[in-house]
Chain A
Amino acid sequence: MKKKIKIKINGKINKIDDKTKLSDLVKNLKVPLKKVAIELNREIVDKKNLNRINLKVNDKIEIVHFIGGG
């Protein structure tokens, strides 16, 4: 069995397999990529490079989109 690690996605702790690719995580979460922006540890991630990033313990991910606002 693969080693599990804890990461934070949008402020909530999630357990995922160690070295999960960011692209796979986003795919599993069914995030509509064209409509979001992703931040990893406070740095914006170029959506073209998601498959080059292996997630590690305590990574903090923010996935944001547009909602109604004034």
Chain B
Amino acid sequence: MKKDNLIISKKKFNSRLIVGTGKYKSMSECAKAIKISGADIVTVAVRRVNITDKKKPLLMDYIDPKKITYLPNTAGCFNSDEALRTLRLAREIGGWKLVKLEVLGDKKNLFPEMIETLKSTEILTKEGFKVMVYCNDDPLMAKRLENVGAAAIMPLAAPIGSGLGILNKVNIQIIRNQTKLPLIIDAGLGQASDATIAMELGCDGVLVNTAIAKAKNPFEMARAFRNAVIAGRQSFLSGRIEKKIMGSASSPKKGII
């Protein structure tokens, strides 16, 4: 099989699995799980430095940004101004232009606030950012994000951290059919097979955090997701059989004794 890279804003990545770095018990657990997952891209959050406790370990000491692409996110932002401020700061830390925009609208269900998200995508794109956008699974909104210059469309499978898997496969398929942009399922996956389903729907990748970080064995779950994404991609590229209502025997009828 020829090289099948994930390409985002002309940058090539080997792995189609993007992992989050939150919710792990420790930095070392997080770093090990990422290594096993084979991910080339990890999402990171921007927060205040603890200036009173200087001994607190830094993420960059555990995950080398020269080896793994940091994807700064705007998690915790509830309006455009907060999101813009966060990503401009992220860029200042070390020149990050590829970013994940996530503007939330509700503290309980964590659904994206799409009006603010659309506004922010447009502004950030004009400022030279390559914006991967967390969004709901609405094909019309996905189109609008594409029109204002999004670098990738990242619809949720289900609410963040819910582990429910893809709730609306039809919408994901409609979005897939209408866009050539990278389509990455972001949020809501619970187990490895959810990732396979996403890839079989033709998505370009998946973004997983809680399902790995909060699994009883995060390392084995990281491995499972790695394999699941590869399996799903191979299955998609292989062209599945048509669905039929009636049975179709696998063994030839000729020569039956």
Closest to A44 in B: B92
Contact (A64, B21) CB under 8 Å given A37-B90, A69-B44: no
Q: Which residue in A11, A35, A70 is a CB contact (below 8 Å) of B22?
A: A70
A36-B49, A37-B89, A44-B89 known; A69-B58 Cβ under 8 A: no
Determine the residue in chain B with the shortest Cβ distance to A35: B60
Does B210 touch A at the CB level, under 8 Å? yes
A68 contact set on B, CB distance < 8 A: 20-24, 27, 30, 44-45, 59
Produce 1/0 per residue, A30-55, CB < 8 A to B.
11101111110010100100000000
Nearest A-chain residue to B47, judged by Cβ: A67
- Cα(A37)–Cα(B72), bound, Å: 13
Q: Select B43's contact among A37, A42, A69, beta carbons within 8 Å.
A: A69
- Which residue of chain B has the shortest Cβ distance to A63 in the bound complex? B49
Alpha-carbon distance between A70 and B138 when the two chains are bound, in angstroms: 21
The verdict on B252 contacting chain A, using a C-beta distance below 8 Å, is no
Residue from the list B48, B58, B75, B90 in contact with A62, Cβ < 8 A: B48
B54 contacts chain A at the CB level, 8 A cutoff: yes
CB distance from A40 to the nearest CB of B (A): 12
| B70 interface neighbour in A37, A63, A66, A70, Cβ under 8 Å | A66
Q: B160's contact among A34, A63, A70, by CB below 8 Å, is which?
A: A70
Which B residues are CB-close (under 8 A) to A39?
A: 89
Q: Are A70 and B48 in contact (CB under 8 A)?
A: no
Q: Is B88 an interface residue (CB 8 A)?
A: yes
- How far does the Cβ of B91 sit from chain A's closest Cβ, in whole Å? 8
Instruction: From known contacts A64-B49, A66-B60, A68-B59, infer whether A35 and B93 are also in contact, taking CB-CB under 8 Å.
Output: yes
Q: A-facing mask of B46-79, CB < 8 A → 1, else 0?
A: 1111010010001110000000001011010000
Is B49 within 8 A of A31, CB to CB? Answer: yes
Q: Does the CB pair A10–B48 fall under 8 Å?
A: yes
Beyond A29-B51, A67-B59, A70-B20, is A44–B45 a contact (Cβ under 8 Å)? no
A65–B49 contact, CB under 8 A?
A: yes
Instruction: Indicate if the CB atoms of B51 and A67 lie closer than 8 Å.
Output: no
- Across-interface contacts of A5 in B (CB, < 8 A): none
Interface check A16, CB cutoff 8 A: no
Q: Which residues of B contact A38 (CB under 8 A)?
A: 92
User: Do the beta carbons of B75 and A70 come within 8 Å of each other?
Assistant: yes
Determine if B51 and A70 form an interchain contact, defined as CB atoms under 8 angstroms apart: no
Q: How far is the CA of A22 from the CA of B80 in the complex (A)?
A: 29
The residue on A at minimum CB distance from B21 is A68
A64 touches B209 (CB 8 A): no
Decide: A44 and B73 in contact? CB cutoff 8 A.
no
Q: Give the chain B neighbours of A62 by CB distance below 8 A.
A: 48, 89
Contact with B47, one of A31, A44, A64 (Cβ below 8 angstroms): A64
Sample of 4 further A-B pairs with CB below 8 A, known A30-B54, A38-B92, A64-B47: A9-B51, A36-B93, A62-B89, A66-B47
Can you list the 10 inter-chain pairs with the closest CB atoms, starting with the nearest? A69-B45, A70-B20, A70-B209, A37-B92, A68-B21, A66-B44, A10-B48, A37-B89, A70-B22, A69-B22
